[in-house]
Amino acid sequence: MPPKREKDDVNVVAIDSDDENDAVPGTSNAPSNKTPSQSMPSVQQQQNPASNTVSSVPGNLEFRSFWKAGDYAVGPTVMPSPIQGYLEHARVHPKFLHSNATSHKWAFGAIAELMDNAVDEIHNGATFVKVDKLEMKDNSPALLVLDDGGGMDPESIRKCMSLGYSSKKSKTTIGQYGNGFKTSTMRLGADVIVFSRATRLSRKTQSVGLLSYTFLRKTGQDDVIVPMIDFDISGHWAEPITYGSEEDWSANLKTILDWSPFSSKEELMLQFDDIGSHGTKVVIYNLWLNDEGIYELSFDDDAEDIRLRDEVNHGAVKQMNKRTAMLQSHISYRIRYSLRAYASMLYLRKFSNFKIILRGQPVEQFDIADELKYSQVVTYKPQLVATTIGFVKEAPSLNVSGFNVYHKNRLIKPFWKVTGDGSSKGNGVIGALEANFIEPAHDKQDFERSLLFIRLETRLKQMIMDYWKGHCHLVGFQPPNFKSHNVQKERILQQSSGHLSRSRNELPTLQRDIATEHQEDTSLDQPITCLPANDVQYFSEQHVSS
């Protein structure tokens, strides 16, 4: 194990890239027995005394848009001098919090990460996750994510706030990289405060942690500092847990009060009331704005939903034809801007004792397989994955197609169109499968493009083509290799009237002409719009019997 650098014994986490064996002190419920020479500097020690005011830092968070929040000048950085006999220690600049969060291109993907954390707590007794809006004192909105899982003790919350730590080793848990909390919260807002209650070995604790991009920028920090405080609540009152001096604990509390929406210790403690005996509460504030200076998340368009403002307005037209209106009402379109729609199909299997509660109302889980007609189950080999495939119920009027691909019950690629653009083959065909044999990208919005992924893409394309050939006639499309109705009808009429104008020797030429006309018929694979009902029934029966 590499030796630790010099630190003071205080309850502040400096996020770094060391492995778990080099974790910072103060992660135990018991007071640390380390000497001052082994511990970490306190908040007061690490702040630049000359930069505690807003005016001393260039930029002052003038860019409230997420994609511009990383554009600020970095002041002079003083790196510690190497100490003989000690390994060099990597530091993380606050700008990394922003650049790390850019892995989330989509705000809903970031919210889904926080819901995943709650779903992973089902095995610890979680029965709900609530996602809602909170109104701050300055009337600005904040995002609330609350669950009643097992909660985090002082050690766990420090791992949550640090980079790369993850204790989720189960084959069923969604999280695995130890980075989702940081990337998701920083993608949604500049600051986040976490409250958590837990019971470990009969000891009840509650902890508060603050990860504030605003604090780090405005105080000119060149390392990521996360002030935290812990309480032992096993008795009748909350007893502060100190790892160094009481002054260090008080310094952490003061920093939290100065940079969070809560201005007193009493107000801070009230935030545990809706957690109950165990669980975690995440409050993200100073939410990001879009390029027009408006909050990226919209809480006003629907009192029971959270919407992406830019996606709602994207492509909006005053007058829509019937087909466009049908498309925009379908869930494949609504998941772009409606969190309720996206959350409804975020998990493949319906929960039995767990609810997603959005803006006070439960989210009804949506299974696309229940909405298909002429569906069938196809096994994807060699992984033996059952894939449900069928026509969307609005086919052929609605041109929606693709596969919903899940990983460990979590939606990764919604309505993934594997067929080429411009081809009518596969229109209206929808599928769903769980592909646990390939790894998702870190933002869980795509898969790593491995050889297994390429093989899956090829097989799904073939699966759609095979299904299309055997079922397209059932929704009004002409099946492939289907002879032109006009050619067949003309030949039948000529034979029945006995007025064939060609001799027996000319029959091969006639057959070639019919074959040529069939090949040049551009109506193949298009909806049948001009055949009488009895002819459609006749051709369907002929196809089925063949």
Query: What's the rounded mean pLDDT across residues 64-74?
Result: 75
Which tokens in the block code for residue 213?
């991009």
Residue 428 burial by CB count (10 A; 0-12/13-18/19+): exposed, middle or buried?
Answer: buried
pLDDT at position 180 is 81
Is the CATH number of domain 94-308 3.30.565?
yes
Whether pTM > 0.85 for this model: the answer is: no
268's enclosing H/E stretch is helix 265-270
Is a pLDDT exceeding 50 seen at residue 523?
A: no
Sign of the four-CA dihedral 438, 441, 446, 450: negative
pLDDT at position 442 is 85
- Residue 38 near residue 12, CB atoms below 8 Å: no
Confidence of residue 399 (pLDDT cuts 50, 70, 90): confident
Is a pLDDT exceeding 60 seen at residue 506?
A: no
C-alpha to C-alpha distance for 488 and 490, rounded to whole angstroms: 6
pLDDT at position 461 is 94
C-alpha to C-alpha distance for 19 and 23, rounded to whole angstroms: 7
Confidence of residue 18 (pLDDT cuts 50, 70, 90): very low
Is a pLDDT exceeding 50 seen at residue 269?
A: yes
Confidence of residue 114 (pLDDT cuts 50, 70, 90): very high
C-alpha to C-alpha distance for 58 and 74, rounded to whole angstroms: 9
User: Strand, helix or coil at 65?
Assistant: strand
Q: Which of 5-14, 174-183, 251-260 is the least confident region?
A: 5-14
Is a pLDDT exceeding 60 seen at residue 524?
A: no
- Residue 377 near residue 388, CB atoms below 8 Å: yes
C-alpha to C-alpha distance for 306 and 148, rounded to whole angstroms: 22
The residue extents of the domains of the chain are: 94-308, 367-479
Is a pLDDT exceeding 80 seen at residue 230?
A: yes
Q: How many helices (H) and strands (E) does the chain have?
A: 16, 17
CB atoms within 10 A of CB 169: 7
pLDDT-above-70 percentage for the chain: 69
**Residue 388, beta-bridge partner list:** 377, 432
Is a pLDDT exceeding 90 seen at residue 493?
A: no
pLDDT at position 477 is 84
pLDDT-above-90 percentage for the chain: 52
Residue 191 burial by CB count (10 A; 0-12/13-18/19+): exposed, middle or buried?
Answer: buried
Distances (CA, A) of 308 to 111, 131, 290: 12, 15, 10
Tell me the pLDDT tens digit for each residue of 468-487: 999 999 998 877 766 555 55
Name which residue leads in pLDDT, 542 or 287.
Answer: 287
C-alpha to C-alpha distance for 443 and 466, rounded to whole angstroms: 32
pLDDT at position 75 is 63
Is a pLDDT exceeding 50 seen at residue 327?
A: yes
Name which residue leads in pLDDT, 268 or 102.
Answer: 268
Name which residue leads in pLDDT, 349 or 443.
Answer: 349
Name which residue leads in pLDDT, 539 or 402.
Answer: 402
C-alpha to C-alpha distance for 451 and 377, rounded to whole angstroms: 24
Is a pLDDT exceeding 90 seen at residue 504?
A: no
Is a pLDDT exceeding 50 seen at residue 66?
A: yes
Name which residue leads in pLDDT, 64 or 175.
Answer: 64
Parallel, antiparallel or unpaired: strands 128-135 and 355-358:
parallel
Query: What's the rounded mean pLDDT across residues 277-293?
Result: 94
Q: Which of 288-297, 307-316, 472-481, 526-535 is the least confident region?
A: 526-535
